[in-house]
A = this chain, B = another copy of it.
Amino acid sequence: MGSKKIVVIGGSAAGAKAAAKARRLDEFAEITLIQKAPDLSMASCGYPYYVGGVFNDRNQLLCTPAGIVRDPAFFDKAKAIKALVETEVVAIDRQEKQVVCRELKTGNELILSYDKLIISTGAKANRPPIPGIDLDGITNLLTMADTDYLRRICDQKKIHQAVVIGGGLIGVETCEALQLSGIKVTVVEALDQVLTFLDGELAHLVENHMQAKGAQVFTSNGVKEFLGRDGKLAGVRLADDTVIDCELAVMAIGVRPNSGLAIAAGLEIGKFGGIAVDQYMQTSDPDIYAAGDCVEISSRISGEPTFAPMGDLANLEGRVAGENAILGNSVSFPGTYHTGICKIFNFAAGSTGISEKAAKRMGLTEFETAVNASPDKPGFMGANLLVSKMLVSTKDQRLLGYQCVGPGDVSKQIATAAMAILGKLTVEDLVNADLPYAPPFSLAIDHFITSAHIIQNKLKGRMTGISTTAVWEKMQRGEQPFFLDGRSPAEFEEMHLGIGEHLIPLGALRSRLGELPDDKNAEIICFCKISLRGYEAETILRAHGYTNVKVMEGGIMAWPYPRKK
């Protein structure tokens, strides 16, 4: 028997990783990597940072940690992998176990036979048929070609206004990149918030930060029409007929699996249009594996297939596909908890597991949430205030989801939560977790543990929370609870909501109970800057017989609505 023939279609994250893993497991396999684009193994999540000028050497998107560009010569020498670039696979012949390719430059056809085939054809950008979408100046930020185009625009400094359509991960990263290049950016999002992996109140804090950094954000709005002049983009008309002048538009309204080849080959396809694979990353054809943005993987939350086009998952999936293609089905990919993170100017925003919105969408009812606004480290070490939201099951107190936004070390918080979810940890486990503490890195009680303390207080009935959103909605309905701000006059002077709140500093509360409503059943909502004093105020009032006291979770720092000062 000769050496095993492995063909990999697609040479970005999943494909390159699968080919490399296959090589490590079989020095003598014939491995061919077929790539339509000219580049290989691109760090595509880095595109926005190259566009924004965070670095200027394009090769850094393509090279190993040792600085070697991963071109066909590199694959040939270091990996003994034959990499064919600018070569498109036009068909998979499953009967004959062959792929039919075309060299893009010459038009030559090439037929490669395989023992095992790995499909990693990635994703395609969604591009809806909006009038004017073919005007010059409308692009995506998905491919290296898009990246080169946008970087050129940023370097030329001729364009002054851009619209980014879509406020998801790529949308906000693109917004930052263009804004850093001196272009005035407007983000238009059809839903009522950016970053749908966050719950609304946290997303609104991100929007406020984007606007503070000079970007405009329109939510609950879409693009009705692209307006042109001489074939070039000159503006967009939004659903509400607002017209925004712009010379550049970036479509960032999501991607879909690039599964056309697989469909044509008759492979099973999932309901999101991605290639269906089992835990071995094996398709409905046992000789074909698939990995990366072209597949559907398992959601570890719902157990259902999901579409999760993330660079980290693509690498891990590719590793599994590469191993199984060589050794037979021996390793599994367990799926995703939908962990995600992004940077937006000085903020970071991340999430793992389920949000409250997702929980409601899934029909869950037995859960509790808690918002925590508190610093990531001591003030004397340059604290950053983080706002996070924890979601736990009230059935078994297991952590189900965690989101965190703010200028601090959000990735540590999210990684901590991701491992806690993976470990099926409960609130009881988290409240006394042994996390690394020293002042340069965290508070004595880590922000994450404080989140667990808050939710435990709620679960034990010691704290009744109300979200800033629920307070805002009450106000919109004309309700007038008694708002108690427990801070000092100096703090109040510096910043306050102006929602009719009564300022009674916590230290004076016990002696000023007479200023509270006479009706001990009246609704009282306590808060402070972060609602720690708000919580202490609640415990005092409860002890003095007030029956309807709530804490506005996260306090003023989690209030995303307009405030008086």
Contacts and interface: CB of A to CB of B under 8 A. Distances in A.
A149 interface: no
A65 B420 contact: no
A173 B440 CA distance: 11
Interface string A69-87: 0000010011110000000
Nearest to A541: B27
A198 interface: no
Interface stretch (A30-38, A101-109, A135-143, A411-419): A411-419
Contacts of A63: 379
A313 interface: yes
A55 B380 contact: yes
A312 B24 contact: no
A67 B494 CA distance: 14
Interface string A321-354: 0000000000011101111111100001010100
A480 interface: no
20 contacts: A27-B544, A46-B439, A49-B440, A65-B374, A66-B533, A68-B488, A74-B507, A173-B438, A316-B445, A338-B434, A342-B438, A352-B434, A410-B436, A411-B441, A412-B415, A415-B435, A415-B436, A419-B433, A420-B422, A423-B424
A339 B432 CA distance: 12
A444 B45 contact: yes
**Total copies of this chain within the assembly:** 2
Enumerate the 7 nearest inter-chain pairs by beta-carbon distance, A residue then B residue, closest first: A423-B423, A77-B507, A27-B543, A419-B419, A312-B437, A341-B436, A411-B441
A320 to B, nearest CB: 7
A506 interface: yes
A437 B507 contact: no
A61 interface: yes
A434 B301 CA distance: 12
B337 A434 contact: yes
Contact of A506 (B78, B320, B529): B78
Contacts of A410: 436
Contacts of A343: 438, 440-441
A86 B59 CA distance: 64
A174 interface: no
A60 interface: yes
A487 interface: yes
A13 interface: yes
Given A46-B380, A316-B449, A422-B433, 18 more contacts: A13-B444, A24-B462, A45-B437, A45-B438, A46-B381, A49-B380, A55-B380, A66-B487, A68-B488, A79-B536, A169-B438, A336-B434, A339-B435, A341-B437, A409-B409, A412-B412, A415-B435, A416-B418
B419 A425 contact: yes
Contact of A539 (B27, B173, B334): B27
A366 B382 CA distance: 43
Nearest to A13: B444
A315 interface: yes
A171 interface: no
